[in-house]
Every structure is written in structure tokens, then in C-alpha cells.
Amino acid sequence: MDIVTIIVALILVFIAWKVLVGLVKFGAIALIAVAAVWFVSQGGFA
């Protein structure tokens, strides 16, 4: 493998990692929001 191939592979891995972390963060925020709505709908804060 030449250096250009290695650099391209590293960039692709970096982009994929950023996307993955972004999805995990978004999923966690969505999960918290759904849990909060469910808690309120059950009369949790009443």
C-alpha cells in the first residue's frame, strides 16, 4: 500500500467514526426525550 491509500483509508475511518459517534449521541438524546415524555404522560410530575 502506498501512502496515499493509507491517508485515504484514515480519512474514511475518521469520517465513519464521527458519523457513528453522532448517531450514538442523537440516539441517546432521542431515548432521553422519549423517556421524559413517557414519564410525564404517566403522571410522573403530578
46 vs 44: CA distance, rounded Å: 6
List Cα–Cα distances, 41 to 1, 16, 19, 37, in angstroms.
58, 37, 33, 6
Show me where the domains of the chain are located. Answer: 1-41
In this structure, what C-alpha cell is assigned to residue 30? 432521542
The model carries a pTM of 0.58
pLDDT at residue 38, as a whole number: 92
Write b or e for each residue in 25-38: b if 16 or more Cβ atoms lie within 10 A of its Cβ, otherwise e. eeeeeeeeeeeeee
1-41 confidence digits (pLDDT tens): 799 999 999 999 999 999 999 999 999 999 999 999 998 89
